[in-house]
Structure 1
Amino acid sequence: MTLALFSLVLDQPISTAESDWEQITTAEILEAVVARPVHELFASLSALPPGDQGHVQALKLMSYGFGTSRGPSATVNYWAYLTTAVSLCLEHIATVTSQEAPTCAAVLTASR
């Protein structure tokens, strides 16, 4: 979810206000998770500490393994699991906030 949010924030024009990310909806985040090429999601990520960078590299390797092997792939199944988990989480957020397409600001407000 974070990768998708970073990717969407980077798509904003440079002249926009810093708080414009608060207007991004959970539907836009889900669309980014499901529809954007994986390399676009990782391109938005800033530098991380070495331990976290190792986790990101492992996730990158798993995501780039799509379509490289024939038959069932544990990598593809895991990526499908992650996208499903994001979808369920965003659906739960929509339920908790009582909004059809809550924004990031609504999510932050609901969590207080």
Structure 2
Amino acid sequence: MKDKMTEEGGRSAARKWVTIRVTEREKTRLTEQAEIAGLSLSEYMRRRFFGGRPLIAHTDALMVRELRRIGGLLKHNFETLRLAGASVTVLVQQEEALRKLSFAIDRIGMSGHDR
């Protein structure tokens, strides 16, 4: 049987403290991101530091998929309006809606990264 004190990542593995300084805002963001990922702040930081893949909550992944689907519908609607000769005002509003949707997708998709 392996000695749990020497197993890397084991609950009983000997741990050492590493302290970093962050602003109050940064700590709040890290804590929120850890909660979204369903992890303790320590585990979240270990995964961010040692893991290669960004941490994205399952709900965020579902939301991004749905927002992309809506974006596709908006693009189709935009093209239909353009071909139908819609006013410039309507087209500008549609373009702005697409831009905001794209920004939201990028922001949610970066929940595992710094925003």
TM-score using structure 2 length: 0.28
Task: Give the number of the structure with larger relative contact order, counting CA–CA contacts within 8 Å between residues 6 or more apart.
Answer: 1
Structure with bigger helix share is 1
Larger radius of gyration: 2
